[in-house]
A and B are shown apart, each in its own frame.
Chain A
Amino acid sequence: MEIIKNPHIDFLGKAKYFIALSLLLIGAGVFWIATGHLRYGVEFSGGTQLVLQFQAAPDTDRIRDAVTTVSPGAVIQTYGDPKANKVLVRISQEAPESDLDAPARAVRQALADTYAENPVTESSSEIVGPLVGAELRQKAILLTGLGLLFQLIYIAWRFKGGVWGASATIAALHDLLVCLAFLAIFHFEITLNVIAALLTLVGYSVNDTIVIFDRARENLLHRRKDSMAKLLNDSLNQTLTRTIISNGTTFLAVLGLFLFGGEVMRGFGFTMVVGIVVGTYSTLFIAVPLVNWWSLRQAPSAKPARAA
């Protein structure tokens, strides 16, 4: 069984439309993020987040009344499966360095005082002091940047050309930005797990690009007469089935993670789901056309991309 028999799709010829689409998406994302729509989880913003499990079905309005008297502006929402009787409380006020869990204690006390008939049976909490959050934010940006840089160096070394490294890195950067845009638009918080997903995507996106670059490198060895464009387009088509199957299965696996992986993994799953689609897209329509465009600039006599 085969998905596509001998595909001949002109990827490069349509590249400019896709590049325009990507720029549009990134532009919208940057605008959305710049206007303050990207939300950080407590790990990064500092603060307190509680997950409280109640004995019986919780009445969120009464909980909100109780909590907001001691902690104005707190966010209260049902957590996970409604039948699990869990409620998430996010306290916006800063946790003081000297007594980190004071806001959390106040909230628990307030609930015990005014909502005594339905006691909290178990609680989980995440409390992050302001110092840690800022440190972690810097670290995340630094590590992502370094990860990209080292991948660029590795690819440039393996393919004996900065063009390949730069193209793969630009595509990975593109994926990061598009993912961030999606996270902002769909109101997902940037948590540590999401950062882990983003860093993994950087690896995954580059991974995907390399498979095609590798095929192009192989083709370059014994087809020197063809234009770069034809050669790249052929390489894309030769590996297309693999691209679809590999990314398709991984996509479905992370989709399962997003849908059934539980509340904690939802942000991670979402990032991976978006990332794998975007990563595949950027390999086909960003990374390879970039290599083509670059090589055309190097050798202006070569013909521009046309259908194979």
Chain B
Amino acid sequence: MPPALQNPITLWLLLSVALAGLVYAFMRQELRVKAIGYGAFLLACAVAVWPPYERAGTPGKIHLGLDLRGGIHLVLQVVVDDALNATVDDAVATARDQAARKGIQIGPVQRVSPTSFSVEGTEPARVKDMRDLLRDFFRGGWEVRESGEGGFAVEMTDLYHRQLKDQTVQEVIRTLERRVNALGVAEPLIAAQGSRGDQILVQLPGVTDVDQAKRVIKTTAQLSLKLVETSAATRDALLTGTGGRQPDNMEVVSGPGDTPGEPVYYLLRREALITGRDLKNARVGVDENNRPQINFSLNATAADKFSRETGRNINRQLAIVLDGTVYSAPVIQSKLGADNRITGRFTTQEADELSKILKAGALPASLRYLQELTVGASLGRDSIRDGVRASAAAMAFIAIFMLFYYRLSGVNAVVALAANLLILLAAMAYTDATLTLPGIAGIILTVGVGVDTNVLVFERIREELRNGKTVRAAVQNGFDRVWITILDTHATALIAAAFLFQFGTGPIKGFAVTLVIGLVANVFASYFVSKFLFEWVLGKRHYESLSI
């Protein structure tokens, strides 16, 4: 095809001009406008839909749903409480630090729910100072209440709570998009869904390695580098140095030790030197023993801080914590720079996946699976073959029946059905709607409704002819009288289809989409195009009888 014709608009214009020429040469004047209008519209549909399926590397215009091409459909729930807890924990740390800085003696500061924390035992003389401090630092988005005896309750406002929730879900979506892109999935769909606002739909068409995809999606990938205070073989042994109690600014994290099956417990500083947000890049590499490792580099600000802190802590252990597990805890030998590595017992594939996930960034909250649907590629192929076979059979049968029963007028009905299908497919291609298996069923039903419109008109014309009307009057009356019926039947069917739409995503939506488009297309094809064909064929001559 010459390059100029590759542009669909040029192609359509050329075809339309050619059509207009033909119409002008061969058609009666009063029909020309309609002919060119209808024809140009149908040509636009044909151009929009070509090529319908993948051919010679060019992707098809009709998107196939997961049920037809295989892939994964997941519904995930974002555990928003994770992000809320983290925010409240930050606030707790801020309150504690600021009180210490101002020299105010306070008792324990604790998170009491995912949206609130409490301060207890403020020294009586400084209660007012503490109140001012809290009011000052938690002005936007928080509410500070006094609970007596030097205690305070600080709670998130509903507005801030909602904002955080939306932010978290949006951030999860963006992170998942980056991860899925790293996997190299074509046409993924990642979107929020559900009325509660914390559900995410992930559709990965064509993906066959379900387990890998799920790992890549679900790994939280919270990376942090933290200084080690001590390490021991059990949790109790770890805390003997601090009197059996975990200090406020410390946490206990475990990780696999040198001997399999014997974990090591570490007491870590709560504050991280580096977190996943500080990463500039991560990729897989090999260590001295040719084992896979993950190389990562830090952005400039983080590199400065890291180099300063490691310089200050030479000979101490630094723990590399990923999703609550210490991967390794090497001793800091010298001041470290921007480029570092994570070693551990990875397989190459694990290291590769992990580096991609780290690069894509951490999830602000963990995810739970609510629903999982995987369709194998061969099952999809079977479905599409069966679906296409069934619809082809249905259409062929209907076409033959119409030709047999209504003779020449049946040709008219067949043309209308073809136009209906063409418009339906073009609208789906244009709006990027997805064709699912129930969608194919929707097409068959559309053909059924299309036939009904033709039958209504034809039967009415026959009736008018029986009542002694002339051919032209019978056709005119047939179309006129049936118009209201067609309007009412299509409106009610659209109402039903609109509610189907509310089922949301997946195959059923594909069904509702084909049904809705099909109903609208049908009014145009089976009524207006069909009427035009009658007018064209009957012309100005006088007919004694009509082949109907």
Contact = CB atoms under 8 A, between A and B. Distances in A.
B386 interface: yes
Interface size class of A (residues with CB under 8 A): 35 or more
B462 to A, nearest CB: 8
A192 B382 contact: no
Contacts of B67: 264
A218 interface: yes
Contact of A129 (B369, B375, B378, B512): B369
Given A154-B491, A211-B456, A147 B499 contact: yes
Contacts of B503: 139-140, 143, 192, 195-196
Interface string A150-178: 11001100100000000000000000000
Given A200-B500, A262-B386, A265-B386, A128 B371 contact: yes
B506 A127 contact: no
Contacts of A196: 438, 500, 503, 508, 511-512
Contacts of A132: 75, 370-371
B390 A147 contact: no
B456 A193 contact: no
Contacts of A7: none
Interface in A162-212: 192-193, 195-197, 199-200, 202-204, 206-207, 210-211
B488 interface: yes
Contacts of A246: 448, 451-452, 455-456
B488 A210 contact: yes
Question: Helix, strand, loop or mixed for chain A's interface?
Answer: helix
A265 B437 contact: yes
Contact of B390 (A51, A207, A214, A260): A260
A262 B444 contact: no
Interface in B354-390: 368-379, 382-383, 385-387, 389-390
A53 interface: yes
Contacts of B485: 210-211, 214-215
B405 A1 contact: yes
Contacts of A150: 495, 499
B463 interface: yes
Contacts of B369: 100-101, 127, 129
B459 interface: yes
A214 B496 contact: no
Given A249-B398, A253-B448, A158 B488 contact: yes
B495 A154 contact: yes
Contact of A199 (B210, B377, B387, B499): B499
Given A193-B438, A207-B492, 7 more contacts: A97-B368, A125-B373, A127-B373, A196-B500, A242-B459, A257-B441, A262-B437
Interface of B: 67, 75, 210, 214, 368-379, 382-383, 385-387, 389-391, 393-395, 397-398, 401, 404-405, 437-438, 441, 444-445, 447-449, 451-452, 455-456, 459, 462-463, 481, 484-485, 488-489, 491-493, 495-500, 502-503, 506-508, 511-512, 515
25 contacts: A1-B405, A97-B368, A125-B372, A127-B369, A127-B371, A140-B503, A143-B503, A144-B499, A147-B496, A147-B500, A192-B503, A192-B507, A199-B500, A200-B496, A200-B497, A200-B515, A211-B489, A245-B405, A245-B455, A246-B451, A249-B448, A249-B451, A256-B390, A257-B444, A268-B438
Interface of A: 1-2, 51, 53, 80, 84, 86, 97-98, 100-101, 122-129, 131-132, 139-140, 143-144, 146-147, 150-151, 154-155, 158, 192-193, 195-197, 199-200, 202-204, 206-207, 210-211, 214-215, 218, 238-239, 241-242, 245-246, 249-250, 252-254, 256-257, 259-262, 264-265, 268-269, 272
